[in-house]
Structure 1
C-alpha cells in the first residue's frame, strides 16, 4: 500500500483510554498510535494526526474534529463515534443513525479510505441489558451503512478474542494495553500492512467462583457505573478540558515519544511566556 496520511477521529476508543502511557499526549497510547508507529516502520513517509477526545458524542466529534481533519486531505480516516450517545437511553437511536450516515457520507465523499467500527457488545451486569440492546441495534446499522457507502468495516463480532475479559480495562468499556495492541494488529491486517506487533496468545484462565463474581460486580458498579451516572446527571465529561493528541500531522517514523516531548516543551514555553506577558501588562 502506498504511504499517505492517516487521520483518526472519535472518542476515547481512538484516543487510547485504557492504555496509559505517560510518554504520549494525554497520557494514553492506544491502538491508533500503535498503528501509526507501524505505518511509519513500513514506510517513513506515512503521516498521522489524531483528533479523538474521550467522552465526545457524535455531534461534538463532527463539529469539533471534521473540518480540521478534512483540511489535512487525509488518504485514510478512521471514524468511531456514537458509543457515548448510546449511554443516554433517552436519545433517539434512529435520529442518531441518520446523523451518523450524514457524517460518514461526508468522510467517504472526501475520497479518503474510511474505516468504521462496530461498538463492543458489553456483556456485563444484567442492569446494563437495555444498553446492550441499543448497542446491537447500533452495530446492525453501522454494518449496513459501511456497506452502502463503501467504508471498510472493523466488526468486533468477528474478533472473538475480545470475549476474554483480560483484554479489557477495569471499567469493562475500554480496552486495556493488550486489547489496544490487538486492535492495531486487526486494523493493519485489514489494510494489508505488515507489522512487528507482538500479539501473544492468552493462556487458559479459570472461571471466577460466584463469590468473587459478586464482589467484582459490586466493585464495578461502585467505581465505574456510579461515577458515570453522576457525570451524566451533572452534564460533565472527562473530555471537557482535553486537547487532541496529534492535531497537526507528524511522521511517526521520527519517533512519537520524542515528538510528544517536543510538543509538551513547546506548550510549556508558550504558557510560561503568556503568564510573563500578563505580569508585564499589569
Structure 2
C-alpha cells in the first residue's frame, strides 16, 4: 500500500455497528468507518461508500452490498457482519461460512485490502442470562472460526475484540448496550487505523476525544426500556429453542 498521498476508495460492508448507530451527527450516523475515512482524508483523497444497514445478515451483505462495493473499486474494504445471524433462529453456520468466504474472496481478488474482526462475548456485554448467553457464545465462537479461515485464506487485516480490554468497559457501549458508544466507535477506528499505518498507508490516527452530547441516566433508562428490552425479548424467542435442544442433548449424553 502506498505511503504517498493517493486516491483511496473505501467501501464499508456490514450492519448497524458499521453504519454508526449510537454515534449521532447532524447528518445522521457517523461511526467507526466514517471516523476512519475522515482520518485517512487528512493525508489522502478519499471516496467513502458506507453500504452497511441495520439488521443486515451475511447473506444480505453478499446479495445486496457486495455488488455495490465491487462497483466502487475499493482500495480498502471492511467486512464486519454476522452478529445478527448469531442472534436469530435462522442461524446456519454452513451457509454463513459460504457467504463470508465468497465476499472476502471477491473483495480480495478485486485488489482491495480487506478488514474484518473477531467478535467478543456479546451476550456478556449485554448482560444476557446464562441460558441465552451460552448458545450465543457458541455461535460467536463458530463465527470467529469462520473469520479465522477468511484470514488464513486471504491474508486480511483484522481486529480482535475478544481480548480487547476496552470492549469490556461500560463506556465502550451505548445505553442500549447493543452498539458501541461514540467512544467505542472511536476506539475501533483507531485500532483499524493502526493496522493500515502498519501496512504503509500513512495518516494521523483518529482522535479518542468524544465530541457528541452525553446521554443522561434518565434518557439512558428510556433507551433500555424502549429499545433494549424489546430486542432481548425477540432474542429470547430466537435463542431459547436452540438452548432447549442443547439441554436435551446434554441430558441424553449423561444418561
TM-score (norm 2): 0.75
Deviation at 1:50, TM superposition (A): 1.0
Q: 2:10 aligns with which of 6, 21, 30?
A: 6
Matching residue of 1:32: 33
Alpha-carbon deviations, 1:87-122, whole Å to 9, x = none?
Answer: 114422233112211221111111111111122322
- Pairing 1:239-258 to 2, within 5 Å after superposition: none
Matching residue of 1:49: 49
Asked if 1:116 is matched to 2:116, the reply is yes
TM-aligned CA distance change 1:52 to 1:136, over 3 Å: same
Runs of 4+, deviation exceeding 4 Å: 219-223, 228-233
Any idea what SS the aligned residue of 2:116 has?
strand
Matching residue of 1:141: 146
Matching residue of 2:105: 105
Alpha-carbon deviations, 1:113-171, whole Å to 9, x = none?
Answer: 11111223221222431112211221122123212222111111242211101110122
What are structure 2's unaligned runs of at least 5 residues? 210-219, 238-255
Alpha-carbon deviations, 1:59-95, whole Å to 9, x = none?
Answer: 1111111112111211111111211111114422233
Deviation at 1:32, TM superposition (A): 0.7
Matching residue of 1:185: 190
Matching residue of 1:77: 77
Aligned equivalents of 1:150, 1:38: Cα separation in 2: 24
Asked if 1:20 is matched to 2:24, the reply is yes
Aligned equivalents of 2:32, 2:114: Cα separation in 1: 16
User: For the Cα contact (< 8 Å) 1:11–1:80, is it kept in 2?
Assistant: yes
TM-score (norm 1): 0.69
TM-aligned CA distance change 1:116 to 1:174, over 3 Å: same
- Which deviates further from its counterpart, 189-198 or 46-55? 189-198
User: For the Cα contact (< 8 Å) 1:9–1:77, is it kept in 2?
Assistant: yes
Aligned equivalents of 1:62, 1:95: Cα separation in 2: 11
TM-aligned CA distance change 1:231 to 1:90, over 3 Å: closer
Aligned equivalents of 2:118, 2:145: Cα separation in 1: 8
- Pairing 1:188-207 to 2, within 5 Å after superposition: 188-192=193-197, 193-199=202-208
What are structure 1's unaligned runs of at least 5 residues? 201-215, 234-282
Aligned equivalents of 1:39, 1:118: Cα separation in 2: 23
Alpha-carbon deviations, 1:180-206, whole Å to 9, x = none?
Answer: 011111111110043253326xxxxxx
User: For the Cα contact (< 8 Å) 1:7–1:74, is it kept in 2?
Assistant: yes
Deviation at 1:230, TM superposition (A): 4.6
Any idea what SS the aligned residue of 2:184 has?
helix
User: For the Cα contact (< 8 Å) 2:11–2:76, is it kept in 1?
Assistant: yes
Task: Name which structure has the greater RCO, CA cutoff 8 Å, separation 6+.
Answer: 1
Count of equivalent residues: 214
Any idea what SS the aligned residue of 2:176 has?
coil
